[in-house]
């Protein structure tokens, strides 16, 4: 079984994003970039399926500027067999990404596509669901467990109030939640080996997808600042202030 794992290069999750002075966007110059944490989990799951003998080939794909090849090399070092880079300098929306990925799904015909549930930059939580829709596949979002048996994938989903398990007919699309697995680190020999693994580059505009923006970014602002608080001495003072000053209890 072939598994496709779309991944994204994003700001490192430990970095606090800063808004540009002209409020046009978030400032990403000289900011540490990394693989989106949910995508790491997606790669890990695909590799585990391969180690279990369920998957035969793991393909990592990313869409973005040249620099995102760095994240593809990371995926290869973690165990992906080959990588596809859809190159574009445009800032794409989830729908565009899903449409481009649908072309790759058509080309590679993977039985399973595993994506992260959301990227930590745009926080959209859309691409997996859109890709499932565009490719006419069932979707198992926010997966905390993935179990493949006889042409079906059972996905345990993290939903408000508990867990829900659904059975999807393969081929299907799964998006990862945090507790699906604990991603591994790439070892140095594997990082070296990854440099020799195949990485195919495709120009985004050669795929025949309309990439006209559907959403205009009007402005980006800092969130409202909270006014500075006070440090209280003890519980008695805390309770008193909550009653008399804040009036919340």
Partner 1 sequence: MKTLVIADHDNGSLKPETSKTINAALKLGFAVDVLIAGENVAPMSEIVASISGVNTVLVADHSEYAHQLAENIADLVLSLAPDYSHLVASATTTGKNFMPRVAALLDVAQISEIIDVVDANTFKRPIYAGNAIATVKSLDSKKVLTVRASSFDLQGEQAPAESRVVDSVFSSELSAFVSVEQTESERPELTAAQVVISGGRGMQNGENFSLLNGIADKLGAAIGASRAAVDAGFVPNDMQVGQTGKIVAPNLYIAVGISGAIQHLAGMKDSKVIVAINKDPDAPIFQVADYGLVADLFDVLPELEQAL
Which residues between 32 and 91 bind partner 1 (CB under 8 A)? none
179 binds partner 1 (CB under 8 A): yes
Comparison of 26 and 201: residue with beta carbon closer to partner 1:
26
DSSP summary character for residue 196: T
Per-residue contact string for residues 202-221; x = within reach of partner 1 by CB under 8 A: -----------xxxxxxxxx
Per the CB < 8 A criterion, the answer to whether 70 and 41 are in contact is: no
Per the CB < 8 A criterion, the answer to whether 82 and 59 are in contact is: yes
First to last CA, the chain: 57
158 binds partner 1 (CB under 8 A): yes
Comparison of 18 and 195: residue with beta carbon closer to partner 1:
18
Residue from the set 2, 57, 87, 138 that interacts with partner 1 by CB under 8 A: 138
Comparison of 79 and 116: residue with beta carbon closer to partner 1:
116
Q: Shortest Cβ distance from residue 118 to partner 1 (Å)?
A: 8
Q: State whether the Cα torsion 167-164-124-60 is positive or negative.
A: negative
Residue from the set 134, 186, 199, 211 that interacts with partner 1 by CB under 8 A: 134
Comparison of 144 and 190: residue with beta carbon closer to partner 1:
144
Tokens 């039985």 belong to 111
Residue from the set 123, 150, 188, 244 that interacts with partner 1 by CB under 8 A: 123
154 binds partner 1 (CB under 8 A): yes
Q: What distance lies between CA 170 and its chain's CA centroid?
A: 21
121 binds partner 1 (CB under 8 A): yes
**Rounded to an integer, what distance in angstroms lies between the CA atom of residue 249 and that of residue 52?**
54
Comparison of 134 and 186: residue with beta carbon closer to partner 1:
134
195 binds partner 1 (CB under 8 A): no
161 binds partner 1 (CB under 8 A): yes
**Rounded to an integer, what distance in angstroms lies between the CA atom of residue 159 and that of residue 64?**
31
Written as six digits, the tokens of 106 are 């058509």
Q: Shortest Cβ distance from residue 49 to partner 1 (Å)?
A: 20
Comparison of 208 and 229: residue with beta carbon closer to partner 1:
229
Written as six digits, the tokens of 118 are 């959301």
**Rounded to an integer, what distance in angstroms lies between the CA atom of residue 4 and that of residue 127?**
14
**Rounded to an integer, what distance in angstroms lies between the CA atom of residue 62 and that of residue 85?**
5
């Amino acid at each position: 079984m072939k598994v496709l794992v779309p991944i994204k290069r994003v700001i490192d999750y430990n970095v606090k994003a800063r808004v540009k002075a002209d409020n046009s966007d978030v400032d990403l110059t000289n900011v540490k970039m990394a693989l989106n944490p949910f995508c790491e989990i997606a790669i890990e799951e695909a590799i585990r399926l391969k180690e279990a003998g369920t998957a035969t080939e793991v393909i990592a794909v990313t869409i973005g500027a040249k620099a995102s090849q760095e994240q593809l090399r990371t995926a290869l070092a973690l165990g992906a067999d080959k990588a596809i880079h859809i190159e574009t300098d445009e800032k794409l929306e989830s729908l565009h990404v899903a449409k481009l990925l649908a072309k790759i799904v058509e080309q590679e015909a993977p039985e399973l596509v595993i994506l992260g549930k959301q990227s930590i930059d745009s926080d959209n939580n859309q691409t997996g669901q859109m890709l499932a829709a565009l490719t006419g596949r069932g979707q198992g979002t926010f997966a905390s467990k993935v179990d493949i048996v006889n042409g079906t994938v059972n996905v345990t989903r993290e939903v408000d109030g508990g867990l829900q398990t659904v059975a999807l007919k393969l081929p299907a699309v799964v998006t990862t939640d945090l507790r699906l697995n604990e991603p591994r680190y790439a070892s140095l020999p594997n990082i070296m080996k990854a440099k020799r693994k195949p990485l195919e580059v495709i120009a985004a505009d050669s795929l025949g997808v309309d990439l006209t923006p559907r959403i205009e970014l009007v402005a980006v602002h800092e969130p409202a600042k909270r006014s500075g608080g006070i440090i209280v001495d003890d519980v008695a003072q805390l309770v008193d202030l909550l009653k008399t000053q804040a009036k919340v209890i």
